[in-house]
Chains A and B, each alone.
Chain A
Amino acid sequence: MISIRNVHKRFGDQVVLDGVSIEILPGQTTTIVGPSGVGKSVLLKLIMGILEPEQGEILVGDKNITAASNEAERNSIRQDLGVLFQSAALFDSLTVYQNIAFPLQQRCGHSADEIHDKTRKIITEMNLAPYSNSYPEEISIGLRKRVGMARALITEPKVLLFDEPNTGLDPLVGQEVYDLIDECKKEWHFTGVVISHELPEVFQVSDIVVMLLGGKVIIEASPDDFRNSPMPEVQQFLHGRVDGPIHIQ
């Protein structure tokens, strides 16, 4: 469903991604892990076509977003995406309700009633009802993340990109997020990319775990194989040890 092929990305002299290839099959959820600053969020933005790689290509479905020549072409690909940004990126001039309804309002073919019903439904499901008239700056970071998630889910997109869906959430709500991902998966079978630092909790929603290090994919394996990998980098990362081949920058 998503093919990332030999992608290189740099900012000035700083090489962030140095030949990354990942194949994400339809209906699967791939979790991307790796130390801070390794380029996980950058990779997600490359998939959305918000950043452009210097080299390599990214296909979403059968459409090549890196080869799209204009924004209109990229937008037709983005119709299939639902994105949760690491910072939630809620629109601060809109209320929680308006933020969640926004993606539907921007698409043709939805009546006002339908938009209202869907928004209400997801707000109730995610226990956001008490906040629906609040503005983003009035609610906590953890809540903003959940609103961002609701906004990503409301269009029932084919592909969901979650950047750290439960960073900033308490363990109970964090578990709820995993349950929600599971539920949605049963409902409409999306293909997912989840960036997370929550190891090993995130494995419960992962089919494949990919670890980035030094701009490259160092392992792409099922959660079990990942856990049992003999690679010292993987073991160091899993167990949060300071000493090992990964140097904290």
Chain B
Amino acid sequence: MSADAAHVEAKECKSFTQRIEIVGTYILDMVENWGRSWIFLYRTILGVISPPFRPRLIITQLYQIGVQSTLVIALIGVFTGAVLAVQGEYTLSKFGATAFTGSAVALSLIRELGPVLTALMVIGRAGSAITAEVGIMRITEQIDALRSMAVDPMRYLMAPRFVAGLIAVPLLTAIFIVLGIFGGYIVGTGLLGLSSGTFITQMVHAVGTVDVYSGFIKSIVFGFIFGWVSCYKGYTCGFGAVGVNRATTQSVVTASVAVLITDYFLTSILTRLIME
């Protein structure tokens, strides 16, 4: 082996160990982050269940997360329902079963699209806002100031946002579903010429309490993910505008992906439970 070749090999070897090091550091960081986020969740829940309770702060957050999202959720709900009616009618017409359009619209909305789309919208709208707000409080030392005054930021900042998310997301989901069905009904009976009686009867016939429960459980879980991720990402935000920027992006991406993955498992589990 020439000296050159040995040199190259040594270099490759070094870059190989370096690569392993990079991967190792990445994995360690990930595990650490994961662990931290669970500790954070634990402390937030402690903040929720231990006094002093701050109903006024929860109401403020309910306003920002819930009330301010209502319009956009309503709009998306109506149009999602309308699209479902058109698509459903088209697909069902291949089987000569357009009578079931009402059931298709309602079941998709209640079991799947209502909870998921609402969660994604709230994450995009309110989750990013929470992360940015908390992140800015972190980098401008407002969180340190709270602590210096013996005020627990978990209780004062995190708990109200977390609780408000848990309450707001299911309520927004309900609004989404109701207006979605309304949108589907208007398009189905008005434009597609379906009979209003059939639309409603088939829908009532097909939708069971279990479907509503399953949508409700999902929306609670998504509300939980929403609060957890957006608060955690804000609280652990890095330095400067770059840190807030990164935290906000990560918050939206992480929460959205988590919602979709959780949705798959929830759907599988809940459907199996219902079958049994």
A-to-B contact residues, CB < 8 Å:
45, 48-50, 71, 75-76, 78-79, 81, 83, 85, 87, 89-92, 102-103, 106
Contact = CB atoms under 8 A, between A and B. Distances in A.
Contacts of A103: 149
Given A87-B140, A87-B141, A50 B150 contact: no
28 contacts: A45-B144, A48-B144, A48-B147, A48-B148, A50-B147, A50-B148, A71-B147, A71-B152, A75-B150, A75-B152, A78-B147, A78-B148, A78-B149, A79-B150, A83-B145, A85-B144, A85-B145, A87-B140, A87-B141, A89-B141, A89-B142, A90-B142, A91-B137, A92-B136, A92-B142, A102-B149, A106-B149, A106-B151
Contacts of B148: 48, 50, 78, 81, 83, 85
Contacts of B149: 78, 83, 102-103, 106
A63 to B, nearest CB: 13
A78 B144 contact: no
B144 A89 contact: yes
Interface residues of B, number: 13
A89 B146 CA distance: 9
A82 to B, nearest CB: 9
Contacts of A79: 150
Nearest to B152: A71
Nearest to B139: A87
Contacts of A49: 147
B153 to A, nearest CB: 10
A91 B142 contact: yes
A85 B143 CA distance: 11
Contact of B144 (A50, A71, A76): A50
A89 B140 contact: yes
A102 B144 CA distance: 14
B220 to A, nearest CB: 28
Interface of B: 136-137, 140-142, 144-145, 147-152
Closest 3 CB pairs of A and B: A89-B145, A75-B150, A89-B141
Residue of B137, B141, B144, B150 ringed by the most chain A CB atoms within 10 A = B150
A75 B150 CA distance: 5
Given A79-B150, A89-B142, A92-B142, 20 more contacts: A48-B144, A48-B147, A49-B147, A71-B147, A75-B152, A76-B150, A78-B147, A78-B150, A81-B148, A83-B148, A85-B141, A87-B140, A89-B140, A89-B141, A89-B144, A89-B145, A90-B142, A90-B145, A92-B136, A92-B140
Nearest to A49: B147
Contact of B145 (A71, A76, A91): A91
Nearest to A94: B142
A89 B148 CA distance: 11
Contacts of B147: 48-50, 71, 78
B194 to A, nearest CB: 50
A112 B152 CA distance: 22
A78 B148 CA distance: 6
B148 to A, nearest CB: 4
Nearest to A75: B150
Nearest to A87: B141
Contacts of A89: 140-142, 144-145
A89 B144 CA distance: 8
A106 B144 CA distance: 15
Contacts of B144: 45, 48, 50, 85, 89
B235 to A, nearest CB: 14
Contacts of B142: 89-92
Contacts of B140: 87, 89, 92
Contacts of A45: 144
A92 B136 CA distance: 10
Nearest to B151: A106
A85 B142 CA distance: 9
A49, A83, A89, A90 — most chain B CB neighbours (10 Å): A89
A102 B151 CA distance: 10
Contacts of B141: 85, 87, 89
Contacts of B150: 75-76, 78-79, 106
